[in-house]
Amino acid sequence: MVDPPNGYFARMQSTGLALVFHHTQPPGTTPADLRRAFERCYLPMIAALEDFPAITASVHWSGPLLEWMEREAPTALASVSAMVAAGRLEILGGLFGAGLLPGIPERDAVGQLTVQQRWWRAHGDVRPRGAWLPYCAWDPSAVRILAGRGLQYTVLEQHQVGTNVVADGWHLTEREGVPLGLFVADSRLAAMVPEATPTRILHAIHTRATEGVRCLTLAVAVESFGAAIDRSATACFGGRGGWVSRFFRVLTENQHWLKLVTLATAYDKMRPTSRLYPAASVSLPVAIHAMGGAHGARFFTLLNELREGEHGELASFIRPAAWDATLATHPEVNRLHKHMVRASAEVNRLRSVIKETKGEADPRMFALEEATLSLYRGQIGMAYVHGVDVGAQDAEVRAEAWRNVLSAERLALTALGDVGRLKSELVDVDLDGRPEHVVRTPHWQAVVAPGLGGGLVELTAWKLPGNLLDVRTRVEEPEHSLLPLLALADFPVADTTEEEPTTEAEPPLVPARELPDLPTVRISEDGLAERVFVDRYTRASFLDRFLAPDATLTGLRTSEHVEVGDFLNGDYSLVQQELTDVSAAWTLARDGVMSEGTALKLIRVQKRFGWLRDKPALDVRYDIENRMHDPVHTRFGVELNLGLGGLRGPEFGLEVIRKGKVRSFGLEAEVDLSNVSELTWFDRSRRFRLRIELEQPAHLWAWPIETISRTPRGLGRTFQGTSILLWWPVELQPQSRRQFELGLTLETA
């Protein structure tokens, strides 16, 4: 398709365009990377807005970015404030920590909105009228929450309200008699930015206008203009030839028919197009990932087939899963989310205790303020969704959320005087209908899940702070089905030149449904299809495995190994609970079966987890019993999965002691060694070592856990952590037992 000829848009009637630019950085961004993103992307956008006085837009900055600008770039912040005062920019409020509205307690949602509003009032007496919700994460309760803070409108995407609803102006929804305006952003138009030339985007806007749309909403993440991708920032902000300048120039030159307005202006000048009652939802890419791999991919395929088929109107009745489905399909997200909710409860408990004192001079007020801000930072939506390029699929993003959530919890418990106690309880942490065993010491917290093979699913260290077991289970992702069709190519960047206008006849209009909903799927390297492996169990630590004689490290790494026992992720029962002033212990057991050739053998596995109050140490004792009248010959293994941020390099690795000699390995290496008596998982940058001591030397298999997930450069390998299997050959006579013992000790500087 060629660009339209000169004068093509001259006959258009007036149409409005509301530009929305939102700015959010992922958690864990280093100060250097944040400054780089600011200089490559955020600052050039501010400069471009200054250079084009005719451009008006609504903008949103997440709280952490506002704090950084105030501290590191006050001049840029002053420029934004000046454009706001001149009426060129409208500030959109929102959740200070860029939290996911349906995923956080309502008290925290209200608190985040309040903090954001107070920040802007303190910086130029700006009073936002609307709110930006990250990932357009909607829940019907948002009406009450947003309106309760005096906010009048927010933005959703087309699929969230149905394709039968015209994305024109704003719509009205209500809850319990409280109204809220809804602007419907054209997500297929946004997907063209900055891939298509500005004139082609203007052509797409023309398409909507000829269909009767009075005012379009175009919402764009400013990060897409090159905050993370090499070369694209130059293409987007390369002076007059940069994409953004050309786009702004095209908009300025077409003001005779395309009127730029803020959301506030559109809200004031237009009547609501219709009344809507959208269900809980998020942006389409997030929703598809929430549904699970094959199911999500098939949903998107069917949706497009419906749109383009004879009965395209049926697509308006199809809805993807709400964000909550993520908690069922991605256990690592569910664990983080449930711990965040528990930390929120502790911070709120501190708030209630201070409130009861009725004294502003309470010395715990500072701890409450710090804990609250840490909690809000730990609630950033990126850590709880699988995004188009950055999200919960990135171990560093999850690790930063864990760090903030644990900091908030630690501050609250310290202020409440509870941090020095040893606590042991039985509670359904992950809300799966089966209670977990939770132990808290002055050094760390641990969660043992009887329903997941009696495995250790969480080990959070206060001092780091972080979850040492934050490893993502490898699942099928929607994009995996496309891998055989994709070929490696240079990462495409925005065009730097416009095609020369021609004098040809007017090109045919492109129907809106033919524009893409999702960003183009790219790959970052060849051979990814052969690297897709799907786990058949939920990853945790101290999982019990019985190995076939022909089992290999490669078979376990590729998930091709056939388990000969039914203990992996099987159901364990509580045998005994012990609690004293200085120690706590849980003993679990399972009576299961193991296949030996064609015969089934009855095996009982019992394991005891023991913690000390005064030392960051965990002792795990195994008792394997043959309950048959025939001997058993097998290999018994204990699997551990360790992860804390997904970082690799010379500062991270494994140290293995074998026959008194120490060998070191990088985390990307596969390790196959016998007679291992001790190993240490270390991180020199954060100065910690997790030492694992074995009472009986074992055979060690270790390998990196990688997923094929979306990254800023397209589909690629994402390091999630390290899987370790320690196994022993076992021969059990009838009614006999074999015992093993493993000890974990966390050493920090």
Assess if residue 247 is contained within a domain. Answer: yes
Question: In this structure, are 671 and 546 located in the same domain?
Answer: yes
**Do 490 and 603 have their domain in common?**
no
Confidence at 281, pLDDT banded by 50, 70, 90: confident
| Phi, psi dihedrals of residue 275, rounded to the nearest 5° | -105, 135
pLDDT at 386: 87
Tell me if 173 sits within 8 A of 276, measured CB to CB: yes
What mean pLDDT is predicted for residues 176-186?
A: 93
Q: Is residue 490 located within the same domain as residue 618?
A: no
Per mean pLDDT, which range of 126-140, 511-525, 670-684 is the poorest?
Answer: 511-525
| pLDDT higher than threshold 80 for residue 238 | no
pLDDT at 161: 86
Q: 3-state SS string over 54-86? A: CCCEEEEECHHHHHHHHHHCHHHHHHHHHHHHC
The angle formed by the CA atoms of residues 578, 579 and 582, to the nearest 5 degrees, is: 130
- What does the pLDDT look like over 303-327, one tens digit per residue? 666 666 666 566 666 667 788 888 9
Q: Check whether residue 690 and residue 614 sit in a common domain.
A: yes
pLDDT reported for residue 375: 97
Which residues, listed in sequence order, are joined to residue 180 by a DSSP beta bridge?
Answer: 173
Q: Answer yes or no: do 130 and 214 share one domain.
A: yes
Which range has the worst mean pLDDT, 113-117, 438-442, 476-480? 476-480
Q: Which tops the pLDDT comparison, 376 or 281?
A: 376
Please give the sequence-ordered ranges of beta strands (E in DSSP) within 62-169, or none if there are none.
89-91, 93-94, 131-132, 153-157
Averaged pLDDT, 226-235: 57
Instruction: Please indicate, yes or no, if residue 223 is contained in any of the structural domains.
Output: yes
Average pLDDT over residues 454-478: 94
In a domain? residue 460: no
In a domain, 110, yes or no: yes
Of the chain, the end-to-end C-alpha distance in Å amounts to 62
Q: How confident is the model at residue 574 (pLDDT cuts 50, 70, 90)?
A: very high
Amino acid 642: pLDDT: 96
Give pLDDT tens digits for 387-438. 878 899 999 999 999 999 999 999 999 999 998 889 999 999 999 899 999 9
Q: Across the strands, what pairs with 445?
A: 440, 460
pLDDT of 32 reads 85
Residues 491 and 595 in one domain: no
Residue 307 pairs with which residues in a beta bridge? none
Q: What is the pLDDT of residues 601-625, one digit of tens each?
A: 999 999 999 999 999 999 999 999 9
Running DSSP on this structure, what letter comes out for residue 225? G
Q: In this predicted structure, what is the pLDDT of residue 193?
A: 87
- 175 falls within a domain: yes
**Residue 438 contacts residue 609 (beta carbons within 8 Å):** no
612-661 pLDDT, tens digit per residue, is 999 999 999 999 999 988 999 999 999 999 998 877 788 999 999 998 99
Half-sphere exposure of 609 (CA within 13 A, CB side): 23
User: Residue 523 has what DSSP assignment?
Assistant: B
Asked if 84 and 165 sit in the same domain, the reply is yes
Residue 123, pLDDT above cutoff 50: yes
Q: How far apart are CA 55 and CA 88, in angstroms?
A: 7
Residue 33 lies in a domain: yes
**pLDDT value for 508:** 37
Domain co-membership, 560 together with 686: yes
In order of 430, 625, 642, the CA distances from 458 in angstroms are 11, 27, 10
Q: Looking at the domain assignment, is residue 239 inside a domain?
A: yes
The pLDDT score that the predictor gives to residue 515 is 36
Between CA 574 and CA 587 the distance in angstroms is 6
Q: Please give the pLDDT value at position 212.
A: 85
Instruction: Let me know whether 163 and 292 are in one domain.
Output: yes
Here the CATH number for the domain that contains residue 659 is: 2.70.98.10
Tell me if 251 sits within 8 A of 17, measured CB to CB: yes
Amino acid present at 125: D
Sign, CA torsion 35/719/451/638: negative
pLDDT, residue 487, reads 61
pLDDT at 260 over 90: yes
Q: Helix or strand or coil: residue 318? A: coil
* Residue 168 CA: distances (Å) to CA of 183, 266, 284: 8, 10, 19
Closest CA to 386 of 395, 377, 374: 395
pLDDT at 502: 35
Q: Are residues 631 and 490 in the same domain?
A: no
Mean pLDDT of the chain: 87
Together in a domain, 26 and 103? yes
Instruction: Name which of 254, 263, 251, 180 is nearest 219 in CA terms.
Output: 263
For residues 370-378, give the mean pLDDT: 96
pLDDT at residue 308, as a whole number: 64
pLDDT of residue 251: 95
Total of domains in the chain: 2
d(CA 247, CA 171): 28
| Lowest-confidence segment of 270-284, 304-318, 353-367, 370-384 by average pLDDT | 304-318
Q: How far is CA 502 from CA 3, 450, 495, 499, 507, in A?
A: 8, 70, 18, 9, 11
**Which tokens is 105 given?**
């307690």
CB atoms within 10 A of CB 743: 16
Domain with residue 184: its CATH number is: 3.20.110.20
**Mean pLDDT in residue range 122-140:** 93
Q: Band of the pLDDT at 514, cuts 50, 70, 90?
A: very low
Q: Are residues 488 and 606 in the same domain?
A: no
Is 226 a domain residue?
yes
H or E element that contains 339:
helix 331-357
Q: What is the pLDDT of residue 503?
A: 33
Identify the domain containing residue 607 by its residue range: 532-748
